[in-house]
Amino acid sequence: MSSGITRADVEHLAGLARIELSAAELDRLAADLPAILDHVAVVQEAAGDDVPAMSHPLPVDNVFRADEVRSSLTPDEALSGAPESEQQRFLVPKILGEE
């Protein structure tokens, strides 16, 4: 598979990743990414279909702990890094679009 990644593709990906890139940043990434993708594309030829995928070095099992009351962050601690807060809640910009 060739990595014909275009400036429009980069703009779309930036939208998916929620990063508002400037025109200059889009130009630069559109120039960088094809070379990187060409380099990493060798993985497509390296392994046959019979090779299983490895997502993690260890067998990942779900881990349960006892359901008991423990101390945790106070509301003030939890909100200590918040850009804005109100009435012990995180204050965020509007999350719904124009009606």
Partner 1 sequence: MSERQRTNSSMTDLTRLSADQAARAIAAGETSSVELTQALLDRIEAVDGDIHAFLHVDADGALAAARASDEQRATGSASYLSGVPIAVKDVFTTIGQPTTCGSKILEGWIPPYDATVVAKLRAAGLPILGKTNMDEFAMGSSTEHSAYGPTRNPWDLTRVPGGSGGGSAAAVAAFETPLALGTDTGGSIRQPGAVTGTVGVKPTYGGVSRYGLVAMASSLDQAGPVTRTVLDAALLHEIVAGHDPMDSTSIDAPVPAVVAAARRADVKGLKIGLVRELQGEGFQAGVQARFDEAVGLLTDAGAEVIEVSCPNFVHGIAAYYLVMPSEASSNLARFDAMRYGLRVGPEGVEDPSAEQVMAASRDAGFGDEVKRRIILGTYALSSGYYDAYYGSAQKVRTLIARDFAAAFEQVDLLASPTSPVTAWPLGDRSDDPLAMYLADVATIPANLAGVPGLSLPVGLADDDQMPVGLQFLAPATADDRLYNAAAALEGLLEDRWGGPLLAQAPALEGVAR
Structure-token pair, residue 22: 């400037």
Residue among 95, 83, 5 at smallest CA distance from 14? 5
Among 4, 23, 44, 87, binds partner 1 (CB under 8 A): 44
Structure-token pair, residue 9: 């593709």
By the rule CB under 8 A, 4 interacts with partner 1? no
Residues 49-88 that bind partner 1 (CB under 8 A): 51-58, 60-63, 65, 73, 77-78, 80-84
Among 6, 8, 27, 47, binds partner 1 (CB under 8 A): 47
Structure-token pair, residue 65: 């702990």
